[in-house]
Structures are given as structure tokens and as C-alpha cells.
Chain A
Amino acid sequence: MSETPRQSLDVDIVCVGFGPAVGGFLTTLSGELTDEQGMPRLESHAMPGMPLQILCYERADDLGFGVSGVVTRGHALRTSFPDLETADIPLAHAVTQEDILYLQDPVGASRRGLGLRTVDSLLRAIRPVLPYADHALRLPYIPGFLRKEGGLVLSIGQFNQWVASRLMSTGLVQLWPGTPVAGPLIDGNAVVGVRLVDQGTDRHGQPAAGYMPGMDIRGALTVVGDGPVGPVGRQLDAHFGLPPGHHQREWAVGMKMVVDLSPDCELVPGTVLHTLGYPEPEIFGFVYVHADRVASIGIFVPSWLDSPVRCGYRYLQHWMQHPALWRHLQGGTLRSWGARTLQESGMRGEPYLVGDGYARIGEGSGTTNVLTGSGVDEAWATGVQLAEAVVELLQAGAPLSRQNLEKTYVERRRGSWVETEARRAINARNGFQRGFLTGLAGMGVTGLTRGALGLADRSQPVHSRVPTPEEFFRGKLTPADVLRVRQEAATRGEPLHDALMQRAGWPQVQYDGKLLLSQQDAMLLGGKVQAPAGYADHVVFVDPSLCERCDNRLCIEACSGQAILPGDEDSPPRFERDKCVHCGACVWNCTRARSSGEERTNIEFQAGAGGLHSAEN
């Protein structure tokens, strides 16, 4: 068989991942590309005589698929769109009301330490004098750093589509969904572009019918905005390492639903509810109410919830049935469902922001602020900052080198509110590594002192802190119980979490066919997951022998789409791509470190096509 040659395409700027960061970058950049007469201001180096050639590749099958609902203060968005009308963006609404609910455990299965149990008892004792109802305390005060007054409730899917539509109509940039990027092209220490994934391969990446090697897209600047688990960002981290003292040890999986609320629901549009305390104390939740009786609801399951069976879906079902929430949600119908990973290390996880030929923006560059609970605005802002820097350099005819990008983009970022707030937040979550109450106290102190005070970072790599099921359920289940569940689950090819959680006291979920659905039905009805043929599997068990010996397969338990399942006996887990929602949780839920000694786990999350087909998330 003759070898199919790998083709190459020269452009000026290639962007990876179309999210808020690249949206901000391209919106700002495209505004500077033409003069008042519509003539190009900047000429292409890659195609002399043409305007600047700017491409963006997005792995999802369409722009805005499978992202998230948010509440944001919207500072940076409003700066870019001073005349922003929420009515222009489907599902957008101004924030009208905010509350934080502390949820107590109405079923008695939650894992609560002595301290928290004492707090719970106290609250119950004095509840007549508190804003307490339905096993929940409404906090009388929301600290300023958490408030989103004047902000927006958004579906990021719809927002991204709105931004993309504006961008495309300019004709100045090209956005290509359904086109995963395999990784950066690194020449020495310079990034010279990206390589797209091979197409027409079998699941192992071997050439099959219609094989087309992934094209090399070469450009003077590669803008890396591929999010928390993006393959380009991760490969850059692997190549260049993280700056000294930085690490990425805090993650969460955010799992959410978009719900058509029942006609009887009294929640008003723009309402924002934050919850904490249940189903496990470490799990935070949210309800954002859009117009037309639609709400985004969901939870964050963090990497410091040290459970070996932390299944977001199961927890989501228990969370929404909490009486304080169910009174609003009962009678609602699932419209959309999805999950994604959040990189919660913030500035502590910040990689090298620039190098020769590349710059990093958005969540993968450490913009998520865990103190203010904000990420979209920050991501957008860093995109804007980079665009301003690039225009400045291109107009000056200066090369897009590390040094020049440091002086322009990084300096802008360091001098901005994004950096100021990120510095305040850097120690905000340290306490959670030690426990829920310590975490809350630490976060409160850090927030109220604007970052002046905080607990020290005593984190450890996520994979090293996960107990085995036998350890985790000690006191509730005997090792023999756990062994029996393990054996039964292995025979049936199922995860452990349902059986273990049930035995540990969590009630069985009674499906109602509308909101309470099996995980598979949530995927079918809400996620609409697809996996096109002709691509290699994007979840890879790097060293199969490590998996074979692994007795703590959290990758299976935590998989949002049940796409990772027990394999044959003494084999690595099985990956069913057609169920993968590309949340990336497997990467940080793997409990085995790679033998190379880095903090990387034994799962590689590569670029893959397909995933969720919903733009409402």
C-alpha cells in the first residue's frame, strides 16, 4: 500500500478550541483587522497579498456543544459588547436574586465528620429562629467576593454560538468544528503550529478505509485555548513542564442538566442558588434560572472528595431530590445534560503562558478563580488581552516570540483584574485538602481578607490521595461486603458505585422518566452523545499492566457517561467511545501515577471527535 502523504497548510494564526477565551481573542482581533473602509489592515505572511489568515479548530461536532451553564459578573463581556442585550442571546438573563443554601442531609447517608455533625445538630436545635426550611439553611449573608450582582446567567453553549455567528459573519476568521487537534508542532522550543488528528483510522489509530493523516497547520502564532484537559495544552505542559512551585492538583467535574421547570415552579428568571453541604459536604451545587421556565442545575464533584466511587451522576440525582431543591424541580423535565472537568488550581496551576510562537489563554492557562467562583469572564478577558498584544506586535512588524509576547500579553494580564483576583484566590481552597469545615473557614478568611490570610498549601497529587473502597467504607461495610460487590460488578461488567452507595445507606433512586432517569437515558435524552467512526480512541490506558494490577478503578466509577467499564478479567478497563461526553474526568480520577515520575496518571486523554450534541448546556 502506498503511503498517504501528510499535507501541510500555512496560515498566520491558528487557534485551538472555541470557548470563551478564543471567543474573546477572535472578537477583539477581528475588530482590528479592517479599516473604516473594510480594507485589511494586516497582510498575511503565510499568503502574501491576502488578509491575515486566522483559523480556529474545535473538536466538538459543532460550536457550543457540550459546554456549561454559568453565572458570571460579565465584566469582560460587557467591555467587549457595551451594547449587550441579553435578549439577543438565547437563555441569557440578568441576575435578579442570589442565595446560598446550606443543605443538611435528609437521608442520613452523607459522610459527615464530628464537627459538621455538631454544626448540624446545633442548626436543627435553633432552626425556629433561622431562615431554615426543607432541611436547608439560607445563609443570611453572601460575601462580596461570591456575589454576582449585575451579572448574567448564561448558557455558554448558546453564548458561544452567538459569538461564533458574529465572528463568522465578518468573514475574517474561519471556525471549524468537528476537527480535533492532535497536538502542537514543536520545533526545538518553539511552537510552529498544530497537527490535526488522523482520520480514517481504526480505534487503535491504525490506517483504515479513507485514511488521511492529520494535516499540519503551520502558523506564526498558535493560540492555545483548548480548556482544562485539552491535548495541546497538556502536551505543552509535558514538554515545557510547569513553572517552579506550580502544580495542578485541584480538579472538579461539573455535571449539569438543563431543565424545563414545571408550570407550578415559583423560581423567577435570573435567580441564582448556590448550595453546599449535600449530598456530601464537599459537593457544591447550583441552580441558575433562565427565562421561559428553564433552569440550569448541577453539582461540582471535586478531586478533594476522597471517595473511590465519586460518581457525579448518582450524586446529582440525590442532590436534586433534596427537599429544598425538589420543591422547585419536581415536575420538571430534562432538556439537556452534560459534564465537564474544571481545572480548579487557578493561578497555582498556571503553565508557562507564552513561548516562541504560542500563547495560552483561558481555563487551561489557569484563569478559573475558585474564590469568586468565576471562570468565563476571566477566560474571555485573557483572550482579549492576547488579541490586543498580537495586534500591537503585528502592527509593529515584531515577531511573535516569547519575549515579545511576555512584554505585551503577559504584562497586560499581570496588570489586570484577572491577575489581582487570581492572586487573592491562590490559597483560598487550601483548607479543603484537609476537610470541609477547615476548607470553608480557610476560604472565608482568604476571601474576607482579600487574600492576605490563608492556609498553607499542603496538597498532594490527586491520584495519591484516593482511598480504596475497603478503606473508604470502613465502619459502614466490611471488607467481605466490598469484595462481594466487587465480584458481582465484575461479572456484570458494571461499576461499583451503585451497589456500594446503596449498601452504605443511599436510597435507591426511583426513576420518574422526566428528571430522575438512568444514567444511560440521561445521555440519550439529554446528552445526545455521538462518536463518529474513523478516529482513534481518545481515552488511552498508557501502561495496560498498571491497570491490570489496579484495585482502585476510580476511572470507571467517575466516568460521567459510563464509557469506561470493567474489561475482561485482568485487563484494563474497556472504553466505549460512543458514550464518552469528553468531560476529561478520567485523566485526574485515575489512581495510578505514570511510571515517568511526573504527576501524570496512567490515562491519556487525547483529541477526539464526537461527544455531546447539545448547545443548550
Chain B
Amino acid sequence: MNQGFHIAVCGSLVPDPLQTLEPIAGPQGPALKNEMMLPAVLDPWASHALYEAAHLARQDGESRIWLVSIGPRARLQQLMMSIAQKAVFELVACDGPAGGFTDAAEVARVLADTVAAIPELDPQRLLLFGGCASASRDAGATLQMTGERLGITEQFLNVDELTVQEGVLRIKERIEGGRYLVSACDGPPAVVGWATGMLPEPPNNPQIGMQNMRSIMPALQRAKSVTLEAPELTFESVTVPQQRRDTRIVKDTPTDEIAAELVQWLREDS
């Protein structure tokens, strides 16, 4: 009998990708200028993980989804408004920093502890979902360490497709050269770090929003405060490269001449 999956999606907020970012030295290490004013979105890859989780859960009636997020409570609250109409989930919130300079190992520690403490979550049915990397820390390491801490030995990264046939997970991972590695895993528990997946962003569904909000606000109020400190890690500098090139402008030149110059350049050994 298929009892369904228990899917814990790890993901939090990152700056809206269109924003201009500038690092500053904060009291706790590097941070972003105006971090609290920057519009934020759910990490794009984690969003895909959430949509894939919702898609998977729809295929049987018994799966459950938890979204496990670490971030400043007020910012998480705001983030929920933009995602809670898209997929049914139960929020498990931790009130803590969401910036990219927090160490992946620390984040993994808190995530693993938080997932392990979800009362109704069955570790044998667990699919630990998340993005293949965050758009902030951009390391692609947190999810695997979280999985390790939870004792999950079957892990997949950069996943674009997961299908289930008779309890076996068939998974496609992006590898070099635009190719896919295809694997079969004998069911949960497993870690799946999603790339973009194959699903479009779900529409906003007000009924889903209504349903989610009944649990989201209490979850935010329950959010435990967490600290993410990595005293072993020292940032010496964080900078935005400002290198300007001396651009040679070629204009009023016949097409043939430009093309010839380009072809010569393309053929040169670099």
C-alpha cells in the first residue's frame, strides 16, 4: 500500500534576482546593503522543488509537504504571501538569518534538527527536497550535508525530473554537456536537489492560499529563534568587481571587414 511521501522542502528567501546588490561589512560579518529593504523571493531552485513536491503529492492523496525555512520572521511572513497560493504545504519556520554569508554547514545543522523534530514526519517516507544551490550562498552544499545529518545515503543533485513507478524513483540529474544521468532509487528516504525541473510555476489559487494561511500564521508565531554562527569561518573581504575594460569601438566599418576580423579572432588560440 502506498502511504505517500513525506516531503520536506528546504528553502528560504533570497533577494529578488533583479536587484542591485552591494556587500557591506556588518557586525556579524559580511551582509548586503539595505538587506531588509531588498525585495525577496523564495529561492528560485527551492521554488521548483516546492512545485515538484506539490506535483508529486497530487499523484496520491496521502503525501504531505512541509516547507522548512530559516529567515527573519517578518521577511518569511512577507514571503509566504507570494508563495502560499501556489502549493499546499505546512510551514516550519525558524527565525534566523537568511543571507548568503551564513555557512552551509550551520544551515544544514539547523535544517536537519528542524526536519528531525517535525512530529508527524516519518523518516522512512522522507524525501528531502531543496534547490540544487541557493541563489545567495550559491554553494550547492547545504542539502547534502542536511541529508547526511539525517542519515540519508541516496542523494541526487541538479535534478530536472523525478517519476515514481511501483515505488521506485526514477531520477534525471543534469551533468556536463547538457546531458542527463538517469538513476533508479528504491524508494525513500532520499535527497533531491532540484534544478529547474520540468514544471511551470503553478497559478495563484486563492483556495490554496486560504487553506495554507490557517497553518502558516501559527507556524510563524511558533518559529523558534536560531543562531547560525561559524566562528571557524573568516571572511577577509567581499567585493563587487569593478573592473572596467577599455572597449575599442568599431563603427562605420564594412560588414565584410568586421566579419573577417571576427573570424580571425575566433580562429586564434586563446
Check B36 against A200 for contact (C-beta < 8 Å).
Answer: no
Q: How many angstroms from the CA of A168 to the CA of B220 in the assembled complex?
A: 11
Q: Name the one of A63, A196, A530 contacting B78, with C-beta atoms under 8 angstroms.
A: A63
* CB of B157 to closest CB in A, whole Å: 27
Return the chain A residue nearest B221 by Cβ: A171
Query: A560 contacts the other chain (Cβ, under 8 Å)?
Result: no
Query: B37 contacts the other chain (Cβ, under 8 Å)?
Result: yes
Check A63 against B37 for contact (C-beta < 8 Å).
Answer: no
Return the chain A residue nearest B204 by Cβ: A179
Q: Name the one of A90, A171, A176, A210 contacting B209, with C-beta atoms under 8 angstroms.
A: A176
Give the segment of A158-166, A381-389, A543-551 that binds chain B: A158-166
Query: A178 contacts the other chain (Cβ, under 8 Å)?
Result: yes
Query: B217 contacts the other chain (Cβ, under 8 Å)?
Result: yes
Contacts of A176 in B (CB 8 A): 81, 85, 204, 206, 209
Query: A217 contacts the other chain (Cβ, under 8 Å)?
Result: yes
Check B82 against A90 for contact (C-beta < 8 Å).
Answer: no
Give the segment of B16-24, B116-124, B177-185 that binds chain A: B16-24
Q: How many angstroms from the CA of A90 to the CA of B38 in the assembled complex?
A: 11
Query: A131 contacts the other chain (Cβ, under 8 Å)?
Result: no
Q: How many angstroms from the CA of A177 to the CA of B78 in the assembled complex?
A: 10
Interface set, chain A 117-164, CB cutoff 8 A to B = 158, 161, 164
Contacts of A165 in B (CB 8 A): 74, 77-78
Check A199 against B213 for contact (C-beta < 8 Å).
Answer: no
- Chain A contact residues (Cβ within 8 angstroms of B): what range? 35 or more
Check A161 against B78 for contact (C-beta < 8 Å).
Answer: yes
Contacts of A169 in B (CB 8 A): 74, 77, 220
Contacts of B19 in A (CB 8 A): 528, 613
Check A217 against B74 for contact (C-beta < 8 Å).
Answer: no
Contacts of A179 in B (CB 8 A): 85, 204, 206
Contacts of A171 in B (CB 8 A): 217-218, 221
Query: B138 contacts the other chain (Cβ, under 8 Å)?
Result: no
Q: How many angstroms from the CA of A196 to the CA of B209 in the assembled complex?
A: 14
Return the chain B residue nearest A200 by Cβ: B203
Return the chain A residue nearest B74 by Cβ: A165
Q: How many angstroms from the CA of A168 to the CA of B216 in the assembled complex?
A: 11
Given A530-B18, A613-B39, A175–B203 Cβ distance below 8 Å? no
Check A532 against B204 for contact (C-beta < 8 Å).
Answer: no
Contacts of B205 in A (CB 8 A): 212, 215
Check A158 against B37 for contact (C-beta < 8 Å).
Answer: yes
* CB of A284 to closest CB in B, whole Å: 28
Q: How many angstroms from the CA of A164 to the CA of B78 in the assembled complex?
A: 8
Return the chain B residue nearest A62 by Cβ: B39
Query: A226 contacts the other chain (Cβ, under 8 Å)?
Result: no
- Chain B contact residues (Cβ within 8 angstroms of A): what range? 20 to 34
Given A176-B206, A215-B206, A534–B78 Cβ distance below 8 Å? no
Contacts of A409 in B (CB 8 A): none
Q: Name the one of B37, B78, B202 contacting A210, with C-beta atoms under 8 angstroms.
A: B202
* CB of B24 to closest CB in A, whole Å: 12
Given A210-B200, A210-B202, A177–B207 Cβ distance below 8 Å? no
Contacts of B201 in A (CB 8 A): 532, 534
Interface set, chain A 534-561, CB cutoff 8 A to B = 534
Q: Name the one of A90, A177, A524, A614 contacting B81, with C-beta atoms under 8 angstroms.
A: A177
Given A62-B39, A90-B36, A613–B209 Cβ distance below 8 Å? no
Given A165-B74, A177-B82, A615–B37 Cβ distance below 8 Å? yes
Q: How many angstroms from the CA of A65 to the CA of B18 in the assembled complex?
A: 13
Query: B164 contacts the other chain (Cβ, under 8 Å)?
Result: no
Interface set, chain A 1-34, CB cutoff 8 A to B = 7, 9
Q: How many angstroms from the CA of A199 to the CA of B204 in the assembled complex?
A: 8
Check B16 against A613 for contact (C-beta < 8 Å).
Answer: yes
* CB of B125 to closest CB in A, whole Å: 28
Q: How many angstroms from the CA of A528 to the CA of B41 in the assembled complex?
A: 14
Q: How many angstroms from the CA of A496 to the CA of B107 in the assembled complex?
A: 54
* CB of A127 to closest CB in B, whole Å: 41
Return the chain A residue nearest B36 by Cβ: A90
Check A63 against B81 for contact (C-beta < 8 Å).
Answer: yes
* CB of A609 to closest CB in B, whole Å: 9
Given A62-B39, A176-B206, A200-B203, A613–B81 Cβ distance below 8 Å? no
Query: B210 contacts the other chain (Cβ, under 8 Å)?
Result: yes
Given A174-B213, A613-B18, A613-B19, A61–B206 Cβ distance below 8 Å? no
Q: How many angstroms from the CA of A212 to the CA of B16 in the assembled complex?
A: 26
Check A9 against B210 for contact (C-beta < 8 Å).
Answer: yes
Contacts of B202 in A (CB 8 A): 210
Q: How many angstroms from the CA of A61 to the CA of B16 in the assembled complex?
A: 11
Q: How many angstroms from the CA of A217 to the CA of B204 in the assembled complex?
A: 13
Query: A437 contacts the other chain (Cβ, under 8 Å)?
Result: no
Q: How many angstroms from the CA of A178 to the CA of B36 in the assembled complex?
A: 20
Contacts of A7 in B (CB 8 A): 207
Q: Mark A517-540, 1 if CB is under 8 A from B, else 0.
A: 000000011001110111000000
Check A62 against B206 for contact (C-beta < 8 Å).
Answer: no
Contacts of A250 in B (CB 8 A): none
Q: A174-B210, A534-B203 are in contact. List 12 more A-B contacts (CB 8 A).
A: A62-B81, A161-B78, A164-B78, A165-B78, A169-B74, A176-B85, A200-B203, A209-B200, A210-B200, A528-B16, A532-B201, A616-B37
| A residues adjacent to B (C-beta < 8 A) | 7, 9, 55, 61-63, 65, 90-91, 158, 161, 164-165, 168-169, 171, 174-179, 196, 199-200, 209-210, 212, 215, 217, 335, 524-525, 528-530, 532-534, 613-616
| B residues adjacent to A (C-beta < 8 A) | 16, 18-20, 34, 36-37, 39, 74, 77-78, 81-82, 85, 200-207, 209-210, 213, 217-218, 220-221
8 closest residue pairs by CB, A with B: A528-B18, A199-B203, A171-B217, A212-B203, A179-B204, A613-B18, A613-B16, A168-B77
Can you identify 11 A-B contacts, CB atoms within 8 angstroms?
A55-B206, A158-B37, A164-B78, A165-B77, A168-B78, A169-B74, A178-B82, A199-B203, A530-B18, A613-B18, A613-B19
